Amino acid sequence: MDIKQAKDIFHWLYANTDGYRISIEARKKLSYYYIADTYGEVEFDSFYQILSLAQPKPNKVFYDLGSGIGKPSLVAYLCFDFSKIIGIEKLEGLWQTSKNILERLQKHYLELCKTKSNSQIDFIQGNFLDLDFSDGDVIFINSYTFFYYQIYDRLFINRLKKLKKGTKIITTVMPITLPIFNIKKLGRFKFSWGEEDVLIHSVFY
């Protein structure tokens, strides 16, 4: 699809949706405070550039671990040829919003979605520490600062070890320093909270 059209659809879909507000409401319902629940979002242009630099081949699998209201997955769906796109989000309000946005896309852009019949997209409510993402080819984790304790959780490291050779993990802020990755800085990119370093990790064995 033409990138301008994809961007127009993206902005139309999210025009009246405030992820920050939804996240605050969702967190008020929790009985604890956890830094990993802190909210922040990608922006269309910069995330399109980031994914382009990851050079995904057609028919690959994309995951967003901690998918918020689903913006990265929507960019992946509208602008690239992934065969499967899955966002995993723990907080119900955010997850429900991503499902609603997806329904809106499928309702108002039925013809467009038909042209993407080889591309499955969905949002799962759950903890990504408990879910299998070993078929992922491109995995996005935003952000390292908030996820620090989860990234170095033994459970999560064991999941990373199961990834296929060639899998790419994109993080913001800092790299995941495990000896299974070749790590490269992609550059600095704009996010909802400001500019941030973006790193790409390639599984090399």
Task: Using CB under 6 A, pick the residue from 6, 22, 44, 71 that binds ligand SAM.
Answer: 71
* DSSP alpha helix (H) spans, the chain: 3-14, 19-28, 44-53, 71-79, 92-108, 110-115, 144-151, 154-161
| HSE of 81, CA atoms in CB hemisphere, 13 A | 8
Stretch that binds ligand SAM, among 50-58, 76-84, 90-98, 197-205 (CB under 6 A): 90-98
Task: Using CB under 6 A, pick the residue from 94, 139, 160, 203 that binds ligand SAM.
Answer: 94
Distances from the Cα of 129 to the Cαs of 79, 111, 151, 159, in angstroms?
28, 36, 9, 8
**What is d(CA 172, CA 144) in angstroms, rounded to the nearest whole number?**
6
CB of 122 to ligand SAM, least distance (A): 14
β-pair partners for 75: none
CB of 142 to ligand SAM, least distance (A): 4
Our finding on whether 41 is near ligand SAM (CB under 6 A) is yes
Our finding on whether 122 is near ligand SAM (CB under 6 A) is no
Cβ neighbours around 50 below 10 Å, total:
21
Q: Which amino acid is at 183?
A: I
Stretch that binds ligand SAM, among 53-61, 113-121, 140-148, 157-165 (CB under 6 A): 140-148
Our finding on whether 127 is near ligand SAM (CB under 6 A) is yes
Residues that bind ligand SAM (CB under 6 A): 23, 36-37, 39-42, 64, 66-68, 71-72, 88-91, 94, 127-129, 142-143, 146, 150
